[in-house]
Amino acid sequence: MSLWRSRAVPLRSTLRSVLRISSRRAKSNLSSPDNLPHPQSHSVQQGFAQHPVFVFNVAKRFIKYSFVGLAILGSTSAAVYEASHQWVENVELKRPQEGPQVHTWEWDLDSEKWGGDDKGGTDPGLGLHGRHMVRAAWMALNWGAGQSNATVIATDISSSSGDGLLGPSGLKFIDPRLVLAEACLHTAVDVAERKSAAGRLLPWTLSQILSLHASVLARMGPDSLPAAKEQYERAWASQPALTKDSARLALKLGDLNFRMGQTEAAMAWWGRGAYLVQDKPNSSDAADYPNSFIQHMPESPSAQRTLLSILSSTSAFLATAGKLKEARALDEASFGLIRSTRHPESISSVSAAHALHALTLLQRSSICCIRLGEIYHALKGRPAVPIQWLSTAAQSSERVALALTGVSSGVISTIITNQSSLPSPKDTLLSSYTASPSMHQPAKRLLRDARRTAAESWNLIGILSEKKDPKFALGCFKRAVVWASKADGFGEPGDETLAADWDVIWGNYSRLVGTTGRALD
């Protein structure tokens, strides 16, 4: 017992020592700075104050980057815009150095002028704004005006007539390319008039821009014809001199007056144009138009084309006015003028410029023939005579259309002489025409006119032959459909075929097919 007590005392003292040491360590740990929580760096009030500053910094960075992005976008857009204008100025409107044959046959004289000199481009005297407006008008006409297909113009349905697509509630739809081009040229005319008054323009610039503006107005429908006439007359008055080029302006004025029903003014302008294209004009001949201008052809190829266009317009006026005998005499005289001109033996043996001139005269003869066929039919002559004239017109137009698209002379002869051999029309011109800025548009228009004339001629032949020979008439109607259809699809109207013409041509073919019991193919 005594031993136990002697050993218990050290044990209790040892436990107390351990507890004291643990207590001191705990106190020391609690009082150590390393074990205390870190003090807060800012107060709650300071946190609330920093949130607006953060938002402001974000907004400032957003505005900064947005401004930089808009600046880059604007600079890029401006560079692209100016680059497109420089392309038009130095490439599209530039007159390239084409072969001597183009100049010999004067296709460069017939090309559209945009207010520049002989080298092309726009007149530097127009200034930055004026030149941009002229180029913008060219781009609108040739490159389009964006995604829109039509511009809506409010009009009174009771007073609306003629051109233009009439929609619901009397709204008229106009090609947006024309609307944009007209607006640009209107501004360009204002600039040109101010610059011309200050003597800063080239001699022909104002007249050419006025003529371009009038041409666009004339295509916008009957409501714009008075304004177009006014601009054409101003273009005529602003010419520095009267030349053979002025004859084309007189032709346009005559055609426009004819459309407006002002026949006396039309005849006066046509007579003035015919007078200007003569090799040795005589002022006494102007009062005797058209009789004094159908004796011989002028030597200039451009003057020949202009004169035949003037005579064709005059004949159309006489025919619509009921003066059938006068129209017949004029068309026969025009046909004789064309035949008196020397033509190449083979289109493939001459230059592209020479061939295009010869094909243009051949197409003019086709128009004379188709009108003579209509006139002889209206005069109640022998039934065979109208068909003969119409057949000549159809064959001539087919020859023109096939030659322009590269069909060989042998194939053309086979197609024309054998009615059962249907043509396979193409829409693609020869590369010699598409590669020439001066000949591309004339060749394109000539192909369009030749296809239309061929279709119209065969359709009229079918109408005149239907009672006597339905089978032959059906072949004529089918041939007309071929020329009015797309190049790769029989029975689908071509892009250049007027809707009214297609309805008549396809209607005659479908009707006769149903009558004869033959299936469509």
% of the chain residues with pLDDT over 90: 53
Tell me the per-residue pLDDT of 129-188, one tens digit each, with 9 for 90 and over: 999 999 999 999 999 876 555 555 544 433 334 455 444 445 667 888 999 999 999 999
Residue 17: predicted pLDDT: 60
480 close to 491: Cβ distance less than 8 angstroms: no
Contacts 24+ apart (CB under 8 A), 421-427: 422/478, 422/479, 422/482, 423/398, 423/479, 423/482, 423/483, 424/487, 425/401, 425/451, 425/482, 425/483, 425/485, 425/487, 426/487, 427/486, 427/487, 427/494, 427/495
What pLDDT is stored for residue 295 in this prediction? 76
Nearby residues of 52 by Cβ (< 8 Å), 6 or more positions away: none
Give whole-number Cα distances, 367 to 293, 373, 398, 453, 480, in Å.
19, 10, 12, 7, 16
Residue, of 423 and 443, whose pLDDT is higher: 443
> 50: pLDDT confidence band, cut at 50, 70 and 90?
low
pTM: predicted TM-score of the whole model, two decimal places: 0.81
pLDDT category of residue 495 using cuts at 50, 70 and 90: confident
109: Cβ contacts below 8 Å, ≥ 6 apart? 244, 245, 302
Q: Name which of 61-65, 301-305, 364-368 the model is least confident about.
A: 61-65
pLDDT at 71 over 90: no
Cα radius of gyration rounded to whole Å, the chain: 41
| The predicted structure's pLDDT at residue 172 | 66
Beta strands in 274-423 (DSSP E): none
User: In the prediction, which pLDDT does 164 show?
Assistant: 52
Range with the lowest mean pLDDT among 201-210, 402-411, 418-427? Answer: 418-427
* Nearest in space to 297 (alpha carbons), one of 243, 346, 338, 358: 338
Most confident listed range (113-127, 146-160, 329-343, 414-428): 329-343
The model's confidence at residue 283, banded by pLDDT at 50, 70 and 90, is low
158 or 207, greater pLDDT: 207
Any idea of the CA torsion for 274, 276, 277, 280, to the nearest 10 degrees?
110
DSSP 8-state code for residue 172: E
pLDDT of residue 519: 41
Contact 122, 135 (CB under 8 A): yes
pLDDT mean over 308-336: 94
Long-range contacts: 461-469, Cβ < 8 Å, 24+?
A: 461/387, 461/390, 461/391, 461/394, 462/508, 462/512, 463/508, 464/377, 464/383, 464/386, 464/387, 464/390, 465/387, 466/512
Helix (H) or strand (E) holding 465: helix 440-465
Tens digits of per-residue pLDDT, 368-390?
A: 999 999 999 999 878 789 999 99
Q: 321 Cβ partners below 8 Å, 6+ apart?
A: 263
Which tokens go with 267? 């005849």
The per-residue pLDDT for 313 is 95
**Better-predicted residue by pLDDT, 156 or 117:** 117
Dihedrals φ, ψ of 484, to 5°?
-85, -15
pLDDT of 49 > 80? The answer is: no
Tokens of 441: 């548009």
**What gap in Å lies between CA 287 and CA 274, rounded to an integer?**
11
Inter-residue contact 151 to 206 (CB < 8 Å)? no
Count the alpha carbons within 13 Å of 62 in the hemisphere toward its beta carbon. 6
Name the pLDDT band for 304 (thresholds 50, 70, 90): very high
CB 507 within 8 A of CB 477: no
The total number of residues written for the chain in this structure: 521
Report pLDDT for 521.
47
Mean pLDDT, the chain, integer:
84
Structure tokens that stand for 121 in this block: 């481009």
Task: Report which of residues 212 and 57 the model is more confident about.
Answer: 212
| Separation CA 184–CA 139 (nearest Å) | 10
Cα–Cα distance measured from residue 71 to residue 415, given in angstroms and rounded to the nearest whole number: 63
* Three-state secondary structure call for residue 485: strand
What is the CB neighbour count within 10 angstroms for residue 259?
16
Q: How confident is the model over 439-448, as a mean pLDDT?
A: 95
Tell me the pLDDT tens digit for each residue of 103-112: 999 998 888 8
pLDDT over threshold 60, residue 113: yes
The domain limits of the chain are 115-227
- The CA-atom distances, in angstroms, between 519 and each of 2, 490, 509 are 141, 14, 11
Candidate ranges 223-232, 382-391, 405-414; pick with highest mean pLDDT: 223-232
Cα separation, 46 vs 56, in Å, equals: 16
Kindly list the distances between the CA atom of residue 285 and the CA atoms of 251, 274, 311, 335, 423, in Å, as whole numbers in the listed order: 17, 10, 15, 21, 45
DSSP state of 120: B
Q: Phi and psi at residue 220, in whole multiples of 5°? A: -90, 0
Asked whether the predicted pLDDT for residue 55 surpasses 60, the reply is yes
State residue 154's pLDDT score.
47
Q: What is the pLDDT of residues 444-480, one digit of tens each?
A: 999 999 999 999 999 999 999 999 999 999 999 999 9
Q: Give yes or no for a contact between 474 and 387, defined as CB atoms under 8 angstroms apart.
A: no
pLDDT tens-place string over residues 3-30: 444 444 455 555 456 556 555 555 555 4
pLDDT in tens, 285-302: 566 677 777 778 899 999
More confident residue, 343 or 331: 331
Helix-then-strand count for the chain, H and E:
19, 5
Supply the pLDDT for residue 119.
79
Q: State yes or no: pLDDT of 430 exceeds 70.
A: yes
| Pair of tokens at residue 506 | 């396809």
- Give residue 4's pLDDT: 43
Q: What was the pLDDT predicted at 2?
A: 46
Nearest of 200, 202, 236 to residue 122 by alpha carbon: 202
Structure confidence at residue 384 (pLDDT): 87
